[in-house]
Amino acid sequence: MEQKKKVCLDAGHSASNKVNKSPDGTYFEHEFALDMAKRIKAHLERHGVEVVETRPDGRDVSLGERCRISNTAKPDLFVSLHSNATGTLATGADGWGNARGWECYVYGLSGARYKAAKAILNQVECVAPAIRSTPILAKPGLYVLAHTNAPAVLIEHGFHTSKRDVAYLKDRAYREKLAKAEARGILNYLGIAWVEDSELDAAVDKLAAAGIIDSPKRWKKLDFTDDSVRTLIIKMAAALK
């Protein structure tokens, strides 16, 4: 059997970070990053991908530790999740600025990392209200991009110093749409076909109606590990008579 694909999700910053926020204080980057990590994780796990989190909760995790976690886990891809800000000098007196849009940073514009960034961008283009004019940039100076062994991308999901962007970044429905798009891009990069939630739900309902499986609600929530797939195959075979 092919080895399970693995992705390391790196939720930027920590709950002690009170600096990276919208100028009106209604949005904190650490909260957004962690929420996005959980949302992307759910979609990846639903497709059988193993997810390693560098920061699973509000705790402080140093950049060095984040890289160590990834380098120990040896994932197929490292994805760091952030939102952007314009420099304080470039913004107006109230802290708001005009710069907006999604962008993705990589160590260099080549190889697997660039392929992954493009696969994610391809999906995000369909849902993001704004994309930077040069959406994939080389940033070799960024610590997590320079010190992770796996192909690595760092996503800036828009500017929390933009009134227009932050309205989206705070919106739960938009977060889910974006997380789904990014998960889909990651899966494309890993060579795993996307399965719609609704497609799975309909299939589970059909099997339950035919009496092949029971407790459809439980099946819809499963992450389809090897054991649950094994159980399902046995149930399907038994139904064939």
Interface with Zn ion by CB under 5 A: which residues? Answer: 12, 82
Residue 229 CB, nearest approach to Zn ion (Å): 37
SS3 assignment, position 136: strand
Residue 85 CB, nearest approach to Zn ion (Å): 8
User: By Cβ distance, which residue is nearest to Zn ion?
Assistant: 82
Which one, 63 or 192, has the nearer CB to Zn ion?
63
Q: What is the DSSP letter of 107?
A: S
Contacts of 184 (CB under 8 A, 6+ apart): 43, 123, 194
Residue 172 CB, nearest approach to Zn ion (Å): 20
Instruction: In whole angstroms, give the CA distance from residue 204 to residue 212.
Output: 10
Q: Which of 55, 185, 174, 164 is nearest to 118 (CA)?
A: 185
Residue 234 CB, nearest approach to Zn ion (Å): 47
Residue 30 CB, nearest approach to Zn ion (Å): 8
SS3 assignment, position 171: coil
Instruction: In whole angstroms, give the CA distance from residue 17 to residue 14.
Output: 6
Which one, 96 or 159, has the nearer CB to Zn ion?
159
Which one, 139 or 220, has the nearer CB to Zn ion?
139
Which one, 39 or 82, has the nearer CB to Zn ion?
82
Residue 150 CB, nearest approach to Zn ion (Å): 19
The pair phi, psi for residue 198, each rounded to 5°, is -65, -35
Which one, 12 or 135, has the nearer CB to Zn ion?
12
Pairing state of beta strands 152-159 and 102-106?
antiparallel
Q: Which residues of 18-27 are buried (b: 16+ CB within 10 A; e: fewer)?
A: eebbbbeeeb
Which one, 43 or 82, has the nearer CB to Zn ion?
82
